[in-house]
Amino acid sequence: MASIEYLSIVFVAGLVTALATGLGAMPFFVVDEFSDRWNVALWGVASGIMLAASLFGLVQEGLAYGSTWLLVPGALAGIALVAVGHEVAEGIDHHPEQYERADFRKLLLILGVLTVHSFPEGVAVGVSFAELGLGGAETVETLGVSIPVLAAFMTVAISIHNVPEGVAVSIPLRSMGVSEWRMVWWAVFSSLPQPIGAVIAYAFVSLAREFLPLGFGFAAGAMVYLVATEFLPEALEQGRDLPGGGRRELTAGVAAGVLAMVPLAFV
């Protein structure tokens, strides 16, 4: 059974990824706007990181724990969750411009939609901590705690992925004249469900270790589907007015993201 200490560690890791979203608002302290070229490149880096982390980390780890019989259904379940989440969010106005104008009830609704949207990222973090405290995995020392290398990579990967998310939240708020620190808060707000998703996922895989491949597959499927249906289309939308539609910047970003995560394949 997951101890309070381990649950706390996983929660803090999820909180770190949520706080990283606030970094997306930081450039607006010194510049008025991000160029489309940089936006496309950032989405490309995030896409490359998530694809590589899913394939080199989650899928590889899932196969190490068992056959594809649980990995594949898990991946399909992860894809289904994201697809359903898109359908739920489609009919609800949760654009960042609504954050400042919403009353308490509307904010709760928005937070519910954001939970559907950002839960898979939290799941990926939580599942990556599956070997926490078991002693069978490669670990790194962080603040006196031995963290599985996969968990460290995944926490960093989700954190980097959240930076362009923070930029995307901040841009419309900037156009409304919202202060920089409030943009940081709303960016972090958009990822607040991630620590909860991380704790729930870790609790599940620690209680039912025979289903670990299912958990790894679930997280990987959700991540890859998010890249295909959100990150890449968002990047191409941002780059539609650039030469070549921004594909050069997107390709370079994806390549940089994948290269950054290559070491995970050899852990």
CA-to-CA distance for 195 and 108, rounded, in angstroms? 17
* pLDDT for the residue numbered 175: 72
* pLDDT for the residue numbered 14: 93
Angle of helix 68-90 relative to helix 104-128, nearest 10 degrees, comes to 170
Instruction: Convert the pLDDT of each residue in 165-199 to its tens digit.
Output: 888 788 777 877 788 898 898 889 888 889 998 99
* DSSP codes of every residue in 105-154: HHHHHHHHHHHHHHHHHHHHHHHHTTTTTTS-S-EEEETTEEEEHHHHHH
**pLDDT greater than 90 at residue 54:** no
* pLDDT for the residue numbered 243: 87
* pLDDT for the residue numbered 81: 81
Mean pLDDT, the chain, rounded, equals 81
**pLDDT greater than 80 at residue 34:** no
CA-to-CA distance for 78 and 67, rounded, in angstroms? 18
Residue 131, token pair as written in the block: 């070997």
**pLDDT greater than 80 at residue 246:** yes
* pLDDT for the residue numbered 111: 65
CA-to-CA distance for 8 and 114, rounded, in angstroms? 22
Length of the chain (residues): 267
The DSSP letter of residue 199 is H
Any idea where the domains of the chain sit in the sequence? 4-266
* pLDDT for the residue numbered 1: 47
Lowest mean pLDDT among 128-137, 152-161, 218-227: 128-137
